[in-house]
A and B are shown apart, each in its own frame.
Chain A
Amino acid sequence: MIERIEELLAAGRAAIEQARDTAALEEVRIEYLGRKAELPNILRGVAELPPEQRGPTGRAANEARKALETEIDARSSKLAAAELEQRLIDDKIDVTLPGDPQPSIGRLHLLTQTRREIEDVFLGLGFQVKEGPELETVYYNFDALNHDPTHPARLETDTFYIGEDLVLRTHTSPMQVRAMLAQPPPIHIIVPGRVYRPDSDATHTPQFHQIEGLAIDEDITLADLKGTLLAAVKAIFGDEREIRLRPHFFPFTEPSVEVDVSCFNCTQGLLEDGSRCNLCKGTTWIEILGAGMVDPNVLGHVDYDTERYQGFAFGMGIERIAMLKHGVPDLRLLYDNDIRFLEQF
């Protein structure tokens, strides 16, 4: 009987070894360990054996059964893992099909992005943001800003009129006067906004956007203007940038300057291929804004003591800064609002 058990164990082991998949292994289990199989029958018949054989036969049969069970389990988990692996391999997808597009993030208009960037720089420098009316009186738009009664900017060819005394503001500067009337110094404000001039060609649109700056206190100097603008220019165009101030003329500042930023497009006015830089026209400087010390006549209009208070003002075009910074070649792209343009930024 013991021999038979050993034969069964050996045969079972061989069958386990040969089972190629979990189904075959299940058949092996039924054949050797199932209810009708020989080994369990031997175990069930142990009681009927002569007493001296019961112990050895029972032990041997039990051990053989346990051995087969363990080996079947081990083999089964191995086969199951392999089969799972195969099923997964068979479950292959075409990874080259397009992924699900997520709802895309929209973009702020380039003018808004640029405006915010400039605002943020000046917020960091301690300025507040003020907005003034677009429908502005002739008084604030011209008179209070020291424009001669005959200044050509007042002509209907240069200014949109709504009434005799009301215009679409031609610059954000009127807010200088409004701000000074509204509060005593110190004043540190910037005024972003939409402005209008009847001009339409490749470099002009009848509406455009400016940011005005005004700083008034007892001790604000032209050197402070330079430092403030230098900080702003570095923040917007990069830390390596320099600025230079060129004297100019504006009715509402004295002295007045135009401010150039060192070109970020070229080396010494030349591009890599040796051609002349189109941005700075080879001069290495790009004009970006107008500025100056607020003219005492303007301070006089708001009854500030001109011996005590002084300060600077500047005005820059948002379109110009956006175009320079991002290499936008044509102003009109900003107003076409083609989505393929908008989503680039």
Chain B
Amino acid sequence: MRVPIEWLSEYVELNLGVQELADKLALTGTEVERIERHGLSETDGFVVGKVLSREKHPDADRLSVCQVDVGEKVQIVCGAPNVDAGQTVGVARPGAVMPDGTKLKRAKLRGQESNGMILSERELEISQDHDGIMVLPDHLEPGTSLAEVLALSTDVLVLEITPNRPDCLGIYGVAREVAAATGAALKPPPWSEDPGSSGPLQGVEIVNQAGAELNPRFTARVFDGVQIGPSPLWLKARLMAAGQRPISNVVDITNYVMLVTGQPTHAFDLDRVAGAQLTVRRAGAGEQMVTLDGQERTLDPDVVLIDDAEGPTSIAGVMGGARSEVSAETTRVLFEAATWSGPNIHQTSWKLALHSEASTRFAKGLQPEQTLWAQALATQLLAQNAGATVRPGTIDIGAEPPAPVTLPLRAARIKKLIGTPVAEHRSVNILTALGFDVARTGEGLAVTVPAFRRADVTREVDLIEEVARLEVLQDLPATLPARHEAVGGLTERQRLVRRAADLLSAQGLHEVTGWSFAGPEQNQKLGLEHDAVQLRNPMSADQSQLRTTLLGSVLDIASHNVARGAETVRIFELGAVYKPEAVGSGKAEDTHLLALLTGAARPATWRDNQPPVADFYTAKGVVTALLDGLGVDYSLEAGRANGALHPGRSAILTAKSQRVGFVGELHPSVAAEWDIDQTVAVLAVNLDKLALPEVRRYRDLTSFPEVREDIAVLLDQSVTAAELVTTIRSAAGALLRDATVFDVYRDAERLGEGKQSLAVRLSFAAPDRTLTDEEVASKRAKIIDAVGKWHGGEIRG
């Protein structure tokens, strides 16, 4: 919404500079996008001139040499075809700065001296007319500053009007808001004098078949003796400053009226309204219509049309038709101002992708009273500027507008909600300035809502907002809520999630944030056959689904980094995956954690420039640290959790006999899909499935010393480390505190084909005594026995 200050000041006695005004508006609820300057930045050097004589330029066919009285006589060379002796014109003198910033100089044109420029309307940004010079009324005194005669420049407030305030879509509404915000005096609305009359109107017939819900009010007047021509300069200048292109007086007046009142209007050439009748009706299903922009559109019964005797002339509230537009020949005008259903216009305009100044206003919901404001103002302007005579009577179809609502406003309620008291007379002043009627009652105030705020202010709290925004907000105290019973804190699961991220970052993994969106090819590339949640209106095909795994987004990010030269990538993501089968259950998301490692398992140095690459065991080390750190009991068994993994190098993670995740290397062909040609190790945990850790109980590990022993066992390679350790543990019983494989040795020549030697470090301890050598020796003997019995293992060395 563009509000020229020059125009605004017709309705309110501004008492602030434009920047201060903008600041004040911004702090009272009217968002000011920016302040623009329209027209001249400096009016010095722009004067009224009288053309004394005009002669053809001796050396240029299209130029004239004019003698002009600008307070003194000067010679000006002019290129306009319409310049002539006797005209009163606008002149820019040498030194004047044009709106585009160029500074005018004395010049010679084809040998003839020129001391300035005779101005066109476009050069002053009054209109886009550049066919000829601007001709001013004759009575003006040559040499008078042009700024005294015309609004050559104005600041323009560019406002963003929030959807609750359609009343501010009119400049008078903004003026009312300015008055309330600054205390400036508001002048009566420009429609308070209506030269027209109510009562029956002869010569046109209007029928509303669409009903009062879609078309709450339809008003029309008829003007005779209309002379189509250009608008006066002041009107053109205002429209230009407000962002509307001047066209002709009648069309300009429809726009001007809309900009002042907020109410869109339409002028029909009455002689081209077939049958001099208009019918408001719903479109038929599948009805076709060519709109002003030349497009054929298919309509449905929710679209409202205005017909004349020959069919549709316009889509109500959205777009007029060409057939009955006013033209240069128009002499009789049917002037329409109607109210349409906001939601219906909104729907129509989106459905047809037709958005006009009118449709955006109607969509926000206008009040029926505004139609007659527009008729009154248009009647004044058409008489003054188009020579029109209003025919007696006004067509006014529609129900009586709703009666005004009176709401209570309790001082105690204001204080309770805002937290600070407001003196009653301050509330009265503010609400009165905003156009509310206020009466005092025993309990506080009785506030009657004006029509133009009917939709927005329906409850006491809405009145409190008005008082708060204009009176309280800028000095509101800052207090903290009383606590009563509220207690803050994270849940155990929230702490678990935080701790998981901390444990991974402590191991040198960076957290990443991927997209929840995925394309169907993602799971295909991963070899996953999950169904995915589909978006109905995705932005692109590769964002048309919601991910079912974090593998895709983490691989995208790893690949992005590898492509940018990263040799080692250690990252993890913690986020939701989406389960189509659970959509509608209220919990379609699981929180997963997925880490990816590729490149060196530890940083290379000049002493160790070939560190091992991250592989299954690196990922296993990470997941071990993670789950140990979380205090979760888990087990890992060889197995391929999904098709993205290496068939021989992956394991399934189980906790509390639930599958909660996996560890493994990626299948090399999957890694290749992401252009990574080195080993990629991953681990994933479904954090929602992980049982919360139990409280850890104290164990005495310090009072009595541990006895450590190493044994090396010669075994078949088919025996896993876990099987060996399990056997050792069950043989040794409770005194064996720990057993860890610390070396694996395979050498067919020395150990035999298919054999391996596993070295195990054993720690024995008892909680209540120091173990004797005999106790340890007997445990060791049992271990050797069991290893031989269950695995055919022999103790080496």
Q: A198 — which chain B residues lie within 8 A by C-beta? A: 537, 539
Interface centre among B486, B501, B506 (most CB of A within 10 A): B486
Q: B587 — which chain A residues lie within 8 A by C-beta? A: 133
Nearest B residue (CB) for A127: B488
Q: Evaluate contact between B461 and A221: CB separation under 8 angstroms.
A: no
C-beta contact mask, A89-123 vs B, less than 8 Å → 1, else 0?
00000000110111111111101100010010011
User: Is A212 an interface residue, CB under 8 A from the partner?
Assistant: no
Q: A51 — which chain B residues lie within 8 A by C-beta? A: none
C-beta contact mask, A116-156 vs B, less than 8 Å → 1, else 0?
10010011111111000111000000000000111110011
Q: Evaluate contact between A337 and B557: CB separation under 8 angstroms.
A: yes
Q: Evaluate contact between A150 and B346: CB separation under 8 angstroms.
A: yes
A100 to B512, CA, bound (A): 27
Nearest A residue (CB) for B589: A134
Q: Evaluate contact between B488 and A162: CB separation under 8 angstroms.
A: no
User: Is B515 an interface residue, CB under 8 A from the partner?
Assistant: yes
Q: Evaluate contact between A188 and B508: CB separation under 8 angstroms.
A: no
- B164, B510, B583: which contacts A162 (Cβ < 8 A)? B583
Q: Evaluate contact between B165 and A166: CB separation under 8 angstroms.
A: no
Q: Evaluate contact between B27 and A246: CB separation under 8 angstroms.
A: yes
Nearest B residue (CB) for A223: B419
Q: Evaluate contact between A339 and B468: CB separation under 8 angstroms.
A: no
Q: Evaluate contact between A106 and B506: CB separation under 8 angstroms.
A: yes
User: Is B401 an interface residue, CB under 8 A from the partner?
Assistant: no
Q: Evaluate contact between B505 and A108: CB separation under 8 angstroms.
A: yes
Minimum C-beta distance from A142 to chain B (A):
14
Q: Evaluate contact between A207 and B517: CB separation under 8 angstroms.
A: yes
Q: B343 — which chain A residues lie within 8 A by C-beta? A: 148-150
- A98, A108, A129: which contacts B606 (Cβ < 8 A)? A98
Q: A101 — which chain B residues lie within 8 A by C-beta? A: 603, 605
User: Is B209 an interface residue, CB under 8 A from the partner?
Assistant: no
Within 8 A of A (CB), among B674-695: none
Q: Evaluate contact between A335 and B515: CB separation under 8 angstroms.
A: yes
Interface centre among B27, B515, B536, B606 (most CB of A within 10 A): B536
Minimum C-beta distance from A60 to chain B (A):
59
Q: A102 — which chain B residues lie within 8 A by C-beta? A: 603
Given contacts A206-B543, A226-B476, A296-B459, contact A124 B26 (CB under 8 A): no
Within 8 A of A (CB), among B569-609: 569-572, 574-576, 578, 583-584, 586-589, 602-603, 605-607
Minimum C-beta distance from B287 to chain A (A):
23
User: Is B484 an interface residue, CB under 8 A from the partner?
Assistant: yes
C-beta contact mask, B480-502 vs A, less than 8 Å → 1, else 0?
11111111111100100010011
Given contacts A221-B416, A222-B418, A337-B557, contact A194 B510 (CB under 8 A): no
User: Is A217 an interface residue, CB under 8 A from the partner?
Assistant: yes
Q: A125 — which chain B residues lie within 8 A by C-beta? A: 480, 488
- A106, A122, A334: which contacts B513 (Cβ < 8 A)? A334
Nearest B residue (CB) for A123: B488
Q: A119 — which chain B residues lie within 8 A by C-beta? A: 490
Size of the chain A interface, CB-CB below 8 angstroms:
84
Minimum C-beta distance from B547 to chain A (A):
11
Q: Evaluate contact between B560 and A336: CB separation under 8 angstroms.
A: yes
Q: A106 — which chain B residues lie within 8 A by C-beta? A: 504-511, 570-572
Q: B489 — which chain A residues lie within 8 A by C-beta? A: 123, 128
User: Is B642 an interface residue, CB under 8 A from the partner?
Assistant: no
User: Is A58 an interface residue, CB under 8 A from the partner?
Assistant: no
A256 to B575, CA, bound (A): 32
Q: B537 — which chain A residues lie within 8 A by C-beta? A: 156, 160-161, 198
Minimum C-beta distance from B441 to chain A (A):
18
A342 to B507, CA, bound (A): 15
Within 8 A of B (CB), among A265-292: none
User: Is B342 an interface residue, CB under 8 A from the partner?
Assistant: yes
User: Is B564 an interface residue, CB under 8 A from the partner?
Assistant: yes
Q: Evaluate contact between A163 and B536: CB separation under 8 angstroms.
A: yes
User: Is B306 an interface residue, CB under 8 A from the partner?
Assistant: no
C-beta contact mask, A325-345 vs B, less than 8 Å → 1, else 0?
000000000111111001100
Q: B494 — which chain A residues lie within 8 A by C-beta? A: 129
Q: B566 — which chain A residues lie within 8 A by C-beta? A: 339
A231 to B480, CA, bound (A): 9
Minimum C-beta distance from B161 to chain A (A):
10
Given contacts A247-B29, A337-B513, contact A223 B477 (CB under 8 A): yes
Q: Evaluate contact between B498 and A116: CB separation under 8 angstroms.
A: yes
Interface centre among A104, A156, A186, A221 (most CB of B within 10 A): A221
User: Is B479 an interface residue, CB under 8 A from the partner?
Assistant: yes
Given contacts A247-B468, A249-B165, A254-B465, contact A161 B535 (CB under 8 A): yes
User: Is B469 an interface residue, CB under 8 A from the partner?
Assistant: yes
Nearest A residue (CB) for B470: A247
User: Is A44 an interface residue, CB under 8 A from the partner?
Assistant: no
A221 to B491, CA, bound (A): 28
User: Is A230 an interface residue, CB under 8 A from the partner?
Assistant: yes
A106 to B538, CA, bound (A): 34
A129 to B498, CA, bound (A): 13
Q: Evaluate contact between B473 and A257: CB separation under 8 angstroms.
A: yes
Given contacts A224-B479, A224-B481, A295-B461, contact A219 B416 (CB under 8 A): yes
- A98, A116, A246, A338: which contacts B560 (Cβ < 8 A)? A338
Given contacts A103-B508, A112-B511, A135-B533, contact A296 B570 (CB under 8 A): no
Given contacts A98-B606, A217-B481, contact A188 B488 (CB under 8 A): yes
Q: A217 — which chain B residues lie within 8 A by C-beta? A: 481-482, 484, 486
A339 to B565, CA, bound (A): 10
A160 to B536, CA, bound (A): 7
User: Is A293 an interface residue, CB under 8 A from the partner?
Assistant: yes
Q: B419 — which chain A residues lie within 8 A by C-beta? A: 221-224
Within 8 A of A (CB), among B446-469: 459, 461-462, 464-465, 468-469
Q: B486 — which chain A residues lie within 8 A by C-beta? A: 126-128, 186-188, 215, 217
Minimum C-beta distance from A148 to chain B (A):
8
User: Is B610 an interface residue, CB under 8 A from the partner?
Assistant: no
C-beta contact mask, A303-343 vs B, less than 8 Å → 1, else 0?
00000001000000000000000000000001111110011
A67 to B485, CA, bound (A): 90
Q: A186 — which chain B residues lie within 8 A by C-beta? A: 484-486
Q: A166 — which chain B residues lie within 8 A by C-beta? A: 583-584
Nearest B residue (CB) for A159: B537
Q: Evaluate contact between A246 and B473: CB separation under 8 angstroms.
A: yes
Q: Evaluate contact between B508 and A249: CB separation under 8 angstroms.
A: no
User: Is A252 an interface residue, CB under 8 A from the partner?
Assistant: no
Given contacts A215-B481, A223-B479, contact A109 B513 (CB under 8 A): yes
User: Is B478 an interface residue, CB under 8 A from the partner?
Assistant: yes
A242 to B138, CA, bound (A): 59
Q: A105 — which chain B residues lie within 8 A by C-beta? A: 505-506, 508
Q: A227 — which chain B residues lie within 8 A by C-beta? A: 477-481
Q: Evaluate contact between A248 and B589: CB separation under 8 angstroms.
A: no
A246 to B27, CA, bound (A): 5
Q: A248 — which chain B residues lie within 8 A by C-beta? A: 29, 31, 162
Known: A149-B343, A249-B29. 8 other contacts (CB 8 A): A106-B511, A107-B505, A128-B488, A133-B589, A187-B486, A206-B543, A224-B479, A226-B476
* In the A-B complex, the 5 residue pairs with the closest CB atoms: A221-B419, A223-B419, A247-B29, A247-B469, A249-B162
- A sample of 16 cross-chain residue pairs with beta-carbon separation below 8 angstroms, ordered by A number, consists of A126-B483, A126-B486, A128-B490, A135-B533, A160-B537, A186-B486, A196-B516, A198-B537, A215-B486, A220-B481, A221-B416, A221-B417, A246-B473, A337-B557, A339-B561, A342-B512
Q: Identify the A interface with B (CB < 8 A).
A: 97-98, 100-109, 111-112, 116, 119, 122-129, 133-135, 148-152, 155-156, 160-163, 166, 168, 186-188, 194, 196, 198, 200, 206-207, 215, 217, 219-224, 226-228, 230-231, 244-249, 254-257, 293, 295-296, 310, 334-339, 342-343
Q: Identify the B interface with A (CB < 8 A).
A: 26-29, 31, 162-165, 342-343, 346-347, 350, 363, 416-420, 459, 461-462, 464-465, 468-469, 472-474, 476-491, 494, 498, 501-502, 504-517, 533-539, 543, 546, 557, 560-561, 564, 566, 569-572, 574-576, 578, 583-584, 586-589, 602-603, 605-607
